[in-house]
């Protein structure tokens, strides 16, 4: 069996931890290195069940530090990268765009430089594996849709927030390294993920946490914005398939064919929470509070994932209702996790984001 040394960045975060777990368990002949800075969004508790696995190593470090990145590529001679590390929350990008440039743009270019150096010098001699740099990106790079149409792989980029502008920039650098230096790359652009271990600044876990604490549910604007939701383990499965079978140099869109208006999603979530908590029907909905809209709020995202479905035979495996119930149950059973990640700096963040909205 082909041995591989794979660097996964951002593996202590939400999606990254599901990808690390999948690769460590499914491919015992691969050595998986998880590089993570452990920002507020990174948590090694997300990986407790696999941290002792013989094919797993954790590296604490910052992708924005080029000397460190070069040193680990020299030391471990990775033959593949799956790059997920990023600043990911749109609201935080509105407050502090520079942090998104440092990690998402500079950090990505540091990784590209180190991969280019190693793969055109030392690794080339052995030739046992074909290296690949797989960049995990977002559908937000395509901008905002009105009520019709879908994002395809050829939709022109039109990012609208500092977050999506930084991800679009990193995608362009990845393609530029493929075009200019022939670096073998893959890119995927995915829609909104939900599931276990998502940090409770994002809509679904934030609202679960607020219902548990009987706090208002702050719906931005009129709640009419639309997102296309995908269960996180289905995204991890897509990353596995694209990594192994995707055509080098190409892009794959990943989505759930599952569009929901925010307010409809919130009502469904409230219903599940009432049911699980044994509350009178309608109790959680009474917490819904319409607040000032997000600046520059993208109206609608919707992914056309035909290419991935037809060329690589991938399909979402979990329906939204089922996935949402699994997610709610996980948060209810892991309230210690929730309490730990919402202590300290989170309190300050929450106050700043929502107090005067
Ligand atoms: P997350 O915020 O939950 O986790 C990000 C991880 O990156 C954390 O573990 C954090 O510690 C780490 N990190 C941040 N800055 C770093 C740095 N400078 N050096 C090293 N590590 C650093 O993110 P997520 O939601 O799991 O998203 C992962 C990737 O998937 C991102 O690239 C994101 O753009 C992309 N994506 C996310 C979604 C979504 O709905 N969450 C959808 C599509 C694409
Ligand atoms: O589309 C993929 C993207 O999805 C990822 O690239 C991002 O990393 C991820 O954060 C997510 O971006 P969104 O901005 O769509 O996700 P968020 O959970 O922040 O918001 C979902 C929708 O809910 C959005 O329309 C804004 C709205 N919202 C969000 C929060 C946090 C509210 O109405 N109230 C809130 O308090």
CATH number at residue 181: 3.40.50.720
Cα–Cα distance measured from residue 354 to residue 357, given in angstroms and rounded to the nearest whole number: 5
Residues near ligand 2 with C-beta < 6 Å? Answer: 88-90, 138-140, 191-192, 202-203, 206, 218-220, 225, 227, 262, 294, 301
Nearest ligand 1 atom to the CA of 83 is 32
Identify the nearest ligand to the CA of 195 by its number.
Answer: 1
CA of 27 to the centre of ligand 2 (A): 32
- Which is nearest to 11 in space by CA: 26, 45, 29, 2? 45
136 lines ligand 1 (CB under 6 A): yes
Look at residue 357 in the predicted model and tell me its pLDDT.
Answer: 86
Look at residue 124 in the predicted model and tell me its pLDDT.
Answer: 60
Look at residue 115 in the predicted model and tell me its pLDDT.
Answer: 98
Look at residue 129 in the predicted model and tell me its pLDDT.
Answer: 81
Query: To 10 degrees, what angle do helices 262-277 and 320-333 make?
Result: 50
User: Do 170 and 327 meet the contact criterion of CB atoms below 8 Å apart?
Assistant: no
Catalytic residues: 139-140, 163
Cα–Cα distance measured from residue 291 to residue 264, given in angstroms and rounded to the nearest whole number: 16
150 three-class SS: coil
Cα–Cα distance measured from residue 160 to residue 152, given in angstroms and rounded to the nearest whole number: 18
CB atoms closer than 10 angstroms to residue 2: 10
User: Do 47 and 25 meet the contact criterion of CB atoms below 8 Å apart?
Assistant: no
Nearest ligand 2 atom to the CA of 167 is 6
Identify the nearest ligand to the CA of 38 by its number.
Answer: 1
Nearest ligand 2 atom to the CA of 201 is 31
Look at residue 126 in the predicted model and tell me its pLDDT.
Answer: 58
Substitution candidate for ligand 1 out of 9, 12, 42 with most atoms within 8 A of CB: 42
Range of the domain at 284: 4-293+300-355
User: Do 291 and 203 meet the contact criterion of CB atoms below 8 Å apart?
Assistant: no
CA of 138 to the centre of ligand 2 (A): 12
Cα–Cα distance measured from residue 116 to residue 110, given in angstroms and rounded to the nearest whole number: 10
Print pLDDT tens along the chain (357 aa): 889 999 999 999 999 999 999 999 999 999 999 999 999 999 999 999 999 999 999 999 999 999 999 999 999 999 999 999 999 999 999 999 999 999 999 999 999 999 999 998 876 655 678 899 999 999 999 999 998 999 999 999 999 999 999 999 999 999 999 999 999 999 999 999 999 999 999 999 999 999 999 999 999 999 999 999 999 999 999 999 999 999 999 999 999 999 999 999 999 999 999 999 999 999 999 999 999 999 999 999 999 999 999 999 999 999 999 999 999 999 999 999 999 999 989 999 999 999 988
Pair of tokens at residue 10: 């951002």
Pair of tokens at residue 134: 């797989």
Query: To 10 degrees, what angle do helices 203-212 and 262-277 make?
Result: 40
Identify the nearest ligand to the CA of 161 by its number.
Answer: 2
CA of 17 to the centre of ligand 1 (A): 10
Domain total in the chain: 1
pTM above 0.95, yes or no: yes
- Which is nearest to 20 in space by CA: 77, 85, 76? 85
Pair of tokens at residue 195: 């599931």
Cα–Cα distance measured from residue 120 to residue 101, given in angstroms and rounded to the nearest whole number: 27
The one-character DSSP state at 303 is B
At residue 294, what are phi and psi to the nearest 5 degrees? -65, 140
Look at residue 1 in the predicted model and tell me its pLDDT.
Answer: 81
């Amino acid at each position: 069996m082909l041995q591989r040394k794979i660097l996964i960045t951002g593996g202590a975060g939400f999606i990254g931890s599901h990808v690390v777990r999948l690769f460590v368990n499914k491919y015992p002949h691969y050595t998986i290195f998880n590089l993570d800075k452990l920002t507020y969004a990174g948590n090694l508790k997300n990986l407790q069940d696999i941290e002792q696995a013989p094919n797993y190593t954790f590296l604490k470090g910052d992708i924005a530090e080029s000397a460190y990145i070069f040193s680990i590529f020299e030391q471990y001679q990775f033959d593949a990268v799956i790059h997920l590390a990023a600043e990911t929350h749109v609201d935080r990008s509105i407050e502090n765009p520079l942090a998104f440039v440092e990690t998402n743009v500079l950090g990505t270019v540091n990784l590209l430089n180190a991969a280019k150096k190693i793969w055109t010098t030392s690794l080339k001699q052995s030739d046992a594996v074909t290296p690949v740099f797989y960049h995990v990106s977002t559908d937000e790079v395509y901008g905002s849709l009105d009520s019709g149409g879908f994002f395809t792989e050829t939709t022109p980029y039109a990012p609208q927030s500092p977050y999506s502008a930084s991800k679009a920039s990193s995608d362009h650098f990845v393609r530029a390294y493929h075009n200019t230096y022939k670096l073998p790359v893959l890119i995927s652009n995915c829609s909104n993920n939900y599931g276990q271990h998502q940090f409770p600044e994002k809509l679904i876990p934030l609202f679960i946490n607020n219902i548990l604490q009987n706090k208002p549910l702050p719906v931005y604007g009129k709640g009419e914005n639309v997102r296309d939701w995908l269960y996180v383990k289905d995204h991890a499965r897509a990353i596995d398939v694209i990594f192994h079978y995707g055509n080098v140099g190409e892009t794959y869109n990943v989505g759930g064919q599952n569009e929901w208006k925010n307010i409809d999603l919130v009502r469904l979530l409230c219903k599940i929470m009432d049911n699980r908590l044994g509350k009178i029907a309608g109790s959680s909905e009474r917490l819904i509070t319409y607040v000032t809209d997000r600046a520059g709020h993208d109206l609608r995202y919707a992914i056309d994932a035909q290419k991935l479905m037809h060329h690589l035979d991938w399909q979402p495996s979990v329906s939204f209702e089922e996935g949402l119930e699994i997610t709610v149950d996980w948060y209810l059973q892991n309230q210690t996790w929730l309490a730990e990640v919402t202590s300290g700096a989170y309190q300050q963040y929450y106050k700043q984001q929502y107090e005067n909205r």
